[in-house]
Structure 1
Amino acid sequence: MATLLELMLVACFLSARSEATEEEELLARGDYLVNSIVACGNCHTPRGDDHKPIAEMHLAGAFQVDRAEFTAYSPNITPDHETGIGAWSDEEIIRAIREGVRPDGTVIGPPMPIRVYREMSDTDVRAIVAYLRTIAPVRNSVPRSEYNIPLPESYGPPVDAVPDVPREDTVAYGAYVSNALGHCMECHTPLVKGAPDLSRTGLGGNVFVKPHGIELVAVSANISPHPEQGIGAWTDDEIKRAITQATSRDGRPLQPAMPFYFYEKVSDEDLEAIIAYLRSIPPQAIE
């Protein structure tokens, strides 16, 4: 018969193993999010001449976005203590992601999509932080962004607890994946004074000059379920192919403004949820 000490040791072992399993699952979730649907490297990793992210500069920043309103430089988010976020606490990183506030109290400006990241669940934002702690630190000093527009004092009240969205509710989960994680509508919805016009969600039409330094002008597509101007007549497989393989319905290659390098890793479950959400929004058309 087991002694009390033996039972206590077994309980401690099982508890430690359970915690280790939870940490492994959290890290795996963070790896998936950063390198697929959230696509952090789309802005935070510089690209080579082939327009693909430079592996040894993973999340080291310095990607530049030039617009009339600002010249923005994506910061180094590797765990380098001097030029990255290695000295930041978990809570400081979470606050930067969901509230747009750095540890020194300054506000993060566009194009960081703070408005939608505020809806990111506690589980997912902590998973992202867990993953960021594991990547190789890269020493890379990045200039501060410059803005010709006033930045908001804040993006809203402090974010408290944000629960996970049940995956059983496919449309709600798809809305979460598309917006809070993938920030799809930040590009695919017309802007009014720098903010998406939610009455025209999915209409597209935003113009991007030299996205990612590529010599082209990209216009965001209508991804609402309008049968002629949108994707209402597309099959699920055609939508999946467009997202993950950069191929339009007619076989035409899509411009590399979308982060297809990351989206090819989006899971089938998330793709199906995204499609369910896109089919649920009102059809939009330019009259």
Structure 2
Amino acid sequence: MRHWIGGLLAALLPILPAAAQPDALVARGRQLVEGIAACGNCHTPKGPQGDVAGMAYAGGFVIDIPGAFRAVVPNITPDPETGIGRWSDAEIARAIRDGKRPDGSTIGPPMPIELYRDIADADLAAIIAYLRSVAPIRNAVGKSSYPMPLPPSYGPPVAGVAAPADDPVARGAYLAGPLGHCIECHTPMLADGRRDWSRTGAGGVPIPGPFGMVVPRNITPAALSGWSDAQVIRAITQGISADGGRLSPPMAFPYYARMSDAELRDVVAYLRALPPLR
């Protein structure tokens, strides 16, 4: 998927069609950030009723995985003091796709950098344009702590990524992978902490949180063979299983409910195409 198509984001923006700057670009970014990418699922602080009103993307939500990390999610609003208001577009792009802050430090999990490295250039530009457009919120947050060592890098700098092929399965793989990182939670881990991509979608490791201990389910055809497409889409957008049972956070149902019908159909096509694993 990844190949050279010219420069970093800073070089990409000036050559976008005039109609895409800024209205269409921001609209596409909103569709992604508030939909499949579900950035607010981590970057907006939570209360008993869900996202705290008036604090969209202001950070402070804590994700604590004992023995692995205690991540204090950062403020990604344009606030210049406590958010990313002083970061350049290229610096934001580098943080998302390469996992590096402007000071060169490495961004740790649960930010899914391994998958974000394959976000297409046009979508990355749209995400950044939308983040620039949200309300700046002054909200200083603490630092994350990582007992485990973070990698010096997640790989060589990403030079450019093309959009997925115009095919339902390819589009669904892109939505459930780089953009929505669904397959990160729903794929088991190896003993060394890496994802076992030979068992993509076969079910993930337990996730503790205020919602209790949640084990991401098997989402391959071995588990979904008795589900209709409508039932899979209902599970994604409403958190209701095929048997009528309620599914649990941290799956971002309110965000996925904003996905288009075409996007949801593509995700289902991709899930149906996975190897059936148990």
Q: Distance in 2 between matches of 1:283 and 1:78?
A: 41
Alignment of structure 1 residues 171-186 onto 2, 5 Å:
171-186=169-184
Q: Deviations over 1:48-83 (max 9, x none)?
A: 211x21131100001101111111111000000010
1:125 and 2:124 correspond: yes
Report the Cα offset of residue 20 of structure 1.
4.0
**Corresponding position of 1:221:** 217
**Corresponding position of 1:54:** 52
* Cα distance, 1:199–1:266 mapped onto 2, change above 3 Å: same
Q: Distance in 2 between matches of 1:263 and 1:164?
A: 21
Q: Deviations over 1:193-224 (max 9, x none)?
A: 222101111111410112xx33x111100000
- After TM superposition, the runs of 4+ consecutive aligned structure 1 residues lying more than 6 A away are none
**Corresponding position of 1:144:** 143
Rg larger in structure = 1
Give SS of 1:42's match: helix
**Corresponding position of 1:241:** 234
TM-score, structure 1 as length reference: 0.88
* Cα distance, 1:205–1:101 mapped onto 2, change above 3 Å: closer
Structure 1: gaps (5+ residues): 1-17
Q: Deviations over 1:137-174 (max 9, x none)?
A: 111111111110110010000101111113x3111111
Structure 2: gaps (5+ residues): 1-16
- Counterpart residue type for residue 162 of structure 1: V
Report the Cα offset of residue 256 of structure 1.
2.4
TM-score, structure 2 as length reference: 0.91
Q: Distance in 1 between matches of 2:151 and 2:158?
A: 16
Q: Distance in 1 between matches of 2:135 and 2:18?
A: 24
**Corresponding position of 1:274:** 267
* Cα distance, 1:205–1:155 mapped onto 2, change above 3 Å: closer
**Corresponding position of 1:3:** none
**Corresponding position of 2:112:** 113
Q: Distance in 1 between matches of 2:136 and 2:114?
A: 28
**Corresponding position of 1:195:** 194
- Counterpart residue type for residue 248 of structure 1: S
Q: Deviations over 1:223-259 (max 9, x none)?
A: 0000xxx112211101000000110001111112211
* Cα distance, 1:205–1:95 mapped onto 2, change above 3 Å: closer
Q: Distance in 2 between matches of 1:241 and 1:58?
A: 25
| C-alpha RMSD of the superposition | 1.1
Aligned sequence identity (%): 52
Q: Distance in 1 between matches of 2:249 and 2:172?
A: 23
- Counterpart residue type for residue 139 of structure 1: R
Q: Deviations over 1:90-110 (max 9, x none)?
A: 000000000000000000011
- Counterpart residue type for residue 105 of structure 2: T
